[in-house]
Structure 1
Amino acid sequence: MKVLVVGSGGREHAMCWKVAQSPLVSELYAAPGNPGMAELAECVPWDGDVGQLAEWADREGIELTLVGPEAPLVEGIADAFLARGLKIFGPTQQAAMIEGSKAFAKGLMERLGIPTARHKTFSDVLDALSYLETVGAPIVVKDSGLAAGKGVTVATSLQQAKQAVANILSGAEQAEVVIEEFLSGPEVTVLAVTDGITIRPLLPSQDHKRLQDGDTGPMTGGMGAICPYPLASGLMTEILERVLKPLVDGLRAEGIVYKGVIYAGLMLTDEGPKVLEFNARFGDPECQAMLPLLETDLLELALAVVEDRLHEVKLEWHPWASACVVMAAPGYPDDPHKGLPLSLPLQPPEQVLYFQAGTRRGPQGLLTNGGRVLSVVGLGEDLKKALERAYTGVAAVKFEHALYRRDIGRKVVTNVG
């Protein structure tokens, strides 16, 4: 069958890599893709217009589309494809509001009794600043809209919180800010696929959002991930029953059938798991760490979702561990340097995968073309070995002044060891 993967990042490269292994695929396309994806698929120029892409897919006879990034989902790419009778793995615009508006997601969690941080939403800067005076710091300030994973400020001082509020509410018309209590505990990502009725949780993982070692520095889109994260016994069942099922069932009761991937970003507090955020797609870089462990055919899984037969699918996993280290361009996240040369080893080290993100092809080879440039994934019989291989893979890349964390997975390895 003819398959299209939408996106151009490391997540989408990993999706292409996994889809290309399916015997069901006859032709694979990527829009707009990147140089790494071009080795697996035919890249299609695309400027982000969802209607235009739906028209192209209809004309070319694309039989299934998988969407990676959040922006086209929030803009209604699934609706545009479904209107033409095209199969697409990803939620509708209405369902994607769980990510498109944090204010919407918070209101939904309140209605459905899903555990989350106490919060308030503001559109007026003076009201928000006045509220900050009453609650003090530490406090968390979030841009309600899409911010590529960088719209969150964990403010340790009142001044930092006020600056974050001012930055968000003065940045765009109809902006909203969500101010919520500071929670403490380990963070974990639980991804699940659903056809609107059946829910299949995937392996839990842990993202590392801060730029620098020790969870310091600015928030980023994610600097690395480990998978699986060792959840305590019974915790996945609790997350399924208290978070995922209420979300899917509650949306359906409100007339919204959610089909695709649910991303639950959770804090494991002393009071139990609480939702930090919902996203409407695979996480990046969690996807790069998780997909190499998935033994089940990703294309068969996506088809089962869009055809309302997920109950027929039993997920199979390789009994390994995975670690992903992101290599970013100098200047990331504020002003990443583009056009810097980099080269990958002709023969990757053992059990190492390279997923490209912010790259482009120049006359002499690969060049940086964005903030997060590469996801380097190591696989092993345990997390310690997976991390060793990931960092061996990092060392084999020629990329001067690359930014990357040297402590991915360290807390888990220390606690387990």
Structure 2
Amino acid sequence: MIKKIIIAVMLVIAGSAYGQEGGTASPYSFYGIGTQQFRGTYEARAMGGMGLYSDSLHLNLLNPAQLGRLRYVTFTVGGSHTEVTLKDGVNENNTSVSTIDYLALSFPISKRAGVSFGLVPLTSVGYDLSDDDSVTTNTFSGKGGVNRVFLSGGYEVTKGLYVGASANYNFGNIQNETLRSIEGAELGTRERNRSDILGFTLEFGAQYDRMITDKLELRSSVKYVPATEVQSQNDRQVSSVIFNNLGLVQDIDIVEVPVGDTNFDFPSSVTVGAGLGEPDKWFFGVEYTNQKNSTFTNRGFDLEDVRFEDATQFRAGGFYIPKYNSVSSYLQRVTYRAGFRYEQSGIVIANEDINEFGISFGLGLPAGRTLNNINFTFEFGQRGTTNSGLVQENFFNAGVSLSLNDVWFLQSKFN
């Protein structure tokens, strides 16, 4: 039965995820190729987004090396709802976004190796802003994003040492529109920009686990993403527009403006992490990422007063399980998670760094007597600043994920 459920859910969600646009409401998604989305499970996000920890039941989407410890066929899917308050020091606006965030299937192919494949968002674009004075009104809108299909494998080289790699195909499109009207003028102007982004990227990971006492285990990990050239096919339209009595806009005199296609390096990154814990009881770890965003460019058009610098991320978090095998108390088998993250996005606007932080916590609820579980995650955070007339975002994210586990490919033996 679980096999049928997994196949049905994957088919339904794959179709909706492929067509999903605008998994963000951030004005900062205009820059680069959109706001970078978290690509891990909600179990990891509840621990500050840390990809250091994994076990034999839950799929880790952040470090392929950890597939070497997988013991069960695991299907995972997650979705979220985000409430965002945007303010610039004068005005304030509320918006919300609901998305399907990931789906993946993994299975062990031996006692020392596992593979996984799935679909996750890479970046998202979604904003609708206006700027007006007594004469001119400008509205800016954008939608789209880049998704990623991945195939990953992990292998236990020797006891406690795991290595892995992922091959990713990144695809999607980003659409930006600027509409300008002038009081007293019969016609306005509209400019549309579209970038179709395609390209392959690779990731490599390693992890080492070691018991340092009878109860305490030390874990360390590293992940490297090499810089990879990605193609952006760019198109631009400029037109005059007329506004009717209903406020609708009709294009006239549409002109296709030649814009060259661009190839840019998707930035390289290095992530290192370390943590300490008692197996099946508790764990706490820290993780640091440096991403070379300073090599990045803004697709097919230039931006004034904007530059890209190297991005850094710091994450810390962990979990606690009172008694994972308790038969008398359900609450003692619940996994309690919490974490913190601070990120420098690498985007600098008007000499202001666009930074982000989040505080998260969550619960992992066992589902019946099986190994399946439902995970709830809640995060409060902030992005940006009101300095220099910029926008600050305060957000609340509620996510839920389902992790289904089963045993496949097991041959029955009869005596």
Which protein is bigger by CA-based radius of gyration? Answer: 2
Does the pair score TM above 0.5?
Answer: no
TM-score between both structures, scaled by the size of structure 2: 0.25
Name the structure with the higher helix share.
Answer: 1
